[in-house]
Chain A
Amino acid sequence: MEIRHDLFNREWELMTGRIENVMRNMNTVVLSAIYNFVHNAYSRQSSNAAMPFLELPTGLIFAGINVPDHDLLFQQIAQTISSSVPPSSGPLEAEDMEPDHNKTASASSASHVVILQSKDCTNLKSAQKSMIEQFLGLGIAGATNPLEGGTRLQNYDMLVLERWYQSLCESDDGAGEERKQPTLVVILQDFESFDYDTLQDFITICSNYQDRIPFVLLMGLATSIDALHQGLPKAVLSRLQTRKFQMQQSSECLTAIIEDLFIHANYIVMHHFYANPLSILCDRSLTAQSKALDLLTYVEGKLEGDPQEAEMLILDDEFLVQQIPDLVQGLCEYHQNFGMIFDFLWFLQTRFSISLLKKPKRALYFMALEGSLINSSHIPFLQNWLQLFKESPRCVPKESTALENAMDRELIVVQSIRDRMGALLDIVSEDSVTSSSEVEDNGEEAEESSKTLSGGFVKKRKLVSLNVYAHETDGRQTRIAKKTRETTRIPKGALGAYTLLVKEIDETISRLFRYLSSRGPDVYVSTLSTDVV
């Protein structure tokens, strides 16, 4: 059990790392925008000399309603800001900053960031205290801590911070006068939960000290800008120089995570393993024997499924060990295929302009997991649409012209070979682009012997990738490694060919779905576990 637990922990860490990665990547653009904002907050101001008085640079971060995410998000932001290198996705700031500016920004010492949460800031005293303590705690080695000097300054006194900041600047002086002063960034994580009176005073104080300490405020708003206007009076508002940053919506976040974690990754495999006692097998160093007890209980439940094999498994550990890689392989394969089909489905869905059809990815995925996707009205609906295409090819150009641009863009991203079909559809119907298509014959296989259109694509695509894709399709449809492939060219521009294509697509799709329904994930998983046992 301990081993399993350890394993679980290890894998879980990997997974959370992955999730965090996804979330981080999602926000890179915004993050780099915030980074620029913070780092240029004061240099920009000096250029904007026309303003009659100083305004406190304030970033409003609309972080979405999902408050539990915010911890991570704001830590991320803090991390980004305090690192002296701008976040990796660079094109944005390269445009924003002038070249010489860029240099100083990277040369300047990093900003110092603190995060204030409403729970730390029940009143003004505690808010200041928490801020100052955090800043001092962050202090770099060179800076002397004024609190250590044996003086009796109270720990919520802004003078402490001022002194600290001065000593910070002094320690920086050695590096050169030209260096930009580090800015102090205060992040108010959950603006809505703050006591507004406290906040007012806090902001007032910060802006009073602004001439001595360059503050930058970042406020996390879960709702809308109304909260800001409701919470702060005009006198305070007028001291803020706000700029808005929109974080990704949580639903998009979720979608991305699902996509990354479950569809494109094999983590689901792991997941299934952890769901049952066999997970120890993940660690190859262990023999199955050591956990025979676990196995036994498990096997008993499955005895009726395949008594003979089960018996064999119990008796013959060798056999079991042999079996497992195959099974895992099978599951992986299935999963890859599932991912591709899923992608295709999604792509198909986005292609239709009717909003009724649009379901978020997560909903689709949920359905797929439940196994109800196949039986739901969703797919027939899509099929009906395809039917429409088939029956009246003339209506397609109208549809597809609008979609073509979007699709061309998407094509690069979407990996499924089926998307290429869509591209082909467009291309053919447009009669404008030279297109080549590949029709694949895997007729040797009995169950799915019909002519399958595996993909069409624009010539510029590499043939290599084509082969790979074609191969994958084979894998998906027949799951048999040996294939014969035959490429035929379809004359461009022919309407007949077009109809043919549509027909083929339709067939393929329905076959795909049939395949899906016959081998839904649950089915597969259960077969796997039966097999294993």
Chain B
Amino acid sequence: MATSPLQLLHEAFPGRAKQIDQILGFMGKPWAATPPSLLINGNSSLGKTAVLKATLSAMLGGGSDSGSSSTHIQSEQQLQELRRRLPSRYAFLDCVECHTPRLIFEHAIYQLRNPPPSQDKGSIIFPSTHTPTAGMSEKKEATTVSRKRKRMTTSPLDWNRCENVNDFVEWCRKICDTKDELDEFHETHGNHRVVSGSISKHQNETRYLVLDRAERLRDTAPTLISVLMRLQELTGRNICVVLITTIVWEKFRSKTGGYEPIVLNFPQYTKSETVAILRKDLPAEEEEDLDLYMRFVDLVYDVFQRNCKDLNEIRHLVALLFPLYIKPVKEGKIQKHEGLKLHRHIQAYFVEAMDKLYLREISSTEWSDRTLSTASGSLSGGSGSTGGGAGGHVSAAPGGDRALTTALDVQNVFDLPYYTKFILIASFLASYNPPRLDMRYFAKVSSTGSKMTKRSKVAAAKKHGHDSMGSKLRQQLLGPKPFPIERMLAIFYSILDEEVEENVNVHTQIASLVSLRMLQRVTPMDKLDSIKCKCNVSYEMIKTLAKSTRFEIDKYLYDFS
């Protein structure tokens, strides 16, 4: 064995060595007493979950090695085997998935009473891990394998009902007290008593209860947090609760001061750490392009780090953009060392990526489909920009891409029934125009508008003072204002050329617009009178709608650009 598990871990998580050491330090020997609770916090995608999971599975899950204490290979293997077979020493719960206390309890008990989920070595070595969340850490190929293995080891269902904290505490005691071969193993190998001398009672291995995305606990079970913090105390057993969260502990605190966990912060990755992580993403078959890849990673980091600190996003971008970067090299159009040319070639894509990809306006598959299909177009675009000079490259975005973009835009257009369009336009006007100006815009000389004018007069009188105060801020920037349905209807009838009866259809349309979330109801559902709504549609969309109905929206909008 060339490397110890510790080294493996360190290798798998660049820039996280310190944290791993800290966690291992808290864990100590498998049977050692631990702090009652631990809180790991840090921004998303800093490897919190992955590190903890890998560490636990390496140390306790029989993943690769059992720890450094044993020197005998044979006993080591034996230990590993035991760990794989025997009930897990840790439970890993996702608080999004376990959205009721009962689910938390039952999942925890289930996991602690069953063998640990098999972890393939792949999942440790390849850090497909720095994910914001738990589940994605396993490699795809591992999926089927692990499923098969699980199938073999699946014990008969023993699911235990556990509905409240009392039961849970009881269960924890029971679980911790079950002495199995593993504990016996420790005992026979001797090095047990020496450490746990302070506790007279015989003590089994520490159990860990890990709660990922613990911030959700505050909603699902606010009282549970303080219980979990004191779980060791309550059970009187060696059990350690680990919370993983993106927020600071202060936000967890309830009024009555509970136990404080030990806080372990995962700091932001530095540039070199980021690059080191990205280095691992390079597919093995392109190993010879390592130089180029590293240069590219450097570039991407410099370009995007101002907008995006999220490691996953950068990895995402790198994975999708690198094939494009390397393409001209592979096709022999640009030499490897011509960095500037390559830079220019890729820049157009950077702009595009910043626009679309980062916002997920197009997904990764669409992006890769595009880049595949527009291969020739992109090349010509790229070389064109190379000759084009400084300003050229942005505008010289590949023609194919443009075409596709417009195709997507076309897709986004959808049609509404004719009158519904007008209802939507009217509500947009009602949302963005101050009511006092309704007279100016919509009053008709004829008597048809009289119904409206009365109402709007009242409304205008009410709102006038308020508006004059805040009129320095344009409504466009403030967002839509709620409006009474009646006002919108008045506008609706006034902007329509023809006479429409006010009947139930109009109201049905309003309701369906609400269900499509184009209108937002502000008043609560139980209030049936004087409903107020907001228009939840962007200006661009209204503009296209207005265009399709040949309605000049700009003439009616106040202070809009």
A residues within 8 Å of B by Cβ?
44-46, 48-55, 58, 62, 64-65, 67, 124-125, 146, 149, 151-154, 157-159, 163, 166, 169-170, 181, 190, 192-193, 201, 204-205, 207-212, 222-227, 229-231, 234-235, 237-238, 240-244, 246, 249-251
Contact = CB atoms under 8 A, between A and B. Distances in A.
B516 A208 contact: no
21 contacts: A46-B140, A49-B140, A50-B319, A52-B128, A52-B316, A53-B131, A55-B364, A151-B157, A154-B102, A157-B103, A166-B154, A190-B515, A204-B96, A204-B133, A207-B136, A223-B518, A229-B359, A230-B536, A238-B360, A244-B408, A249-B415
B141 interface: yes
A211 B136 contact: yes
B517 A227 contact: yes
Contacts of A169: 147, 151
A210 B97 contact: no
Contacts of B142: 211
A48 B361 contact: no
B365 to A, nearest CB: 5
B99 A62 contact: no
A208 B131 CA distance: 11
Contacts of A240: 360, 363
Contacts of B365: 44, 48, 241-243
A161 to B, nearest CB: 11
A206 to B, nearest CB: 9
Contacts of B417: 65
Contacts of B128: 52-53
A17 B160 CA distance: 50
Contacts of B339: none
B538 interface: yes
Contact of B366 (A154, A242, A251): A242
Interface of B: 44, 94, 96-97, 99-100, 102-103, 106-107, 110, 128, 131-136, 138, 140-144, 146-147, 150-151, 154, 157-161, 281, 283, 312-313, 315-316, 319-320, 322-323, 359-366, 368, 408, 411-417, 512, 515-518, 536, 538, 541
Contacts of A159: 107, 110, 159
Contact of B312 (A53, A201, A243): A53
Contacts of B364: 51, 55, 241
In the A-B complex, list the 9 residue pairs whose CB atoms are closest, starting with the nearest: A208-B135, A52-B315, A242-B363, A224-B412, A151-B159, A237-B360, A152-B161, A211-B138, A50-B319
A193 B514 CA distance: 9
Contact of A235 (B132, B416, B516): B132
B361 A149 contact: no
B165 to A, nearest CB: 17
B285 to A, nearest CB: 9
A55 B416 CA distance: 33
A144 B322 CA distance: 46
A192 B133 CA distance: 26
B515 A192 contact: yes
A210 B135 contact: yes
A234 B315 CA distance: 15
Contact of A124 (B44, B99, B133, B322): B99
A152 B159 contact: yes
Given A65-B415, A208-B134, A251-B415, A52 B518 contact: no
A295 B496 CA distance: 48
B161 A244 contact: no
A154 B361 CA distance: 38
A192 B158 CA distance: 40
Given A224-B412, A240-B360, A192 B517 contact: yes
A244 B411 contact: yes
B144 A208 contact: no
A79 to B, nearest CB: 25
Nearest to B144: A181
A482 to B, nearest CB: 50
Given A58-B363, A64-B414, A212-B146, 13 more contacts: A52-B128, A52-B319, A53-B136, A62-B414, A157-B106, A181-B144, A190-B515, A223-B414, A224-B414, A230-B517, A238-B313, A238-B316, A250-B415
Nearest to B97: A205
Nearest to A44: B365
Nearest to A249: B415
B102 A223 contact: no
A229 B359 CA distance: 9
A426 to B, nearest CB: 30
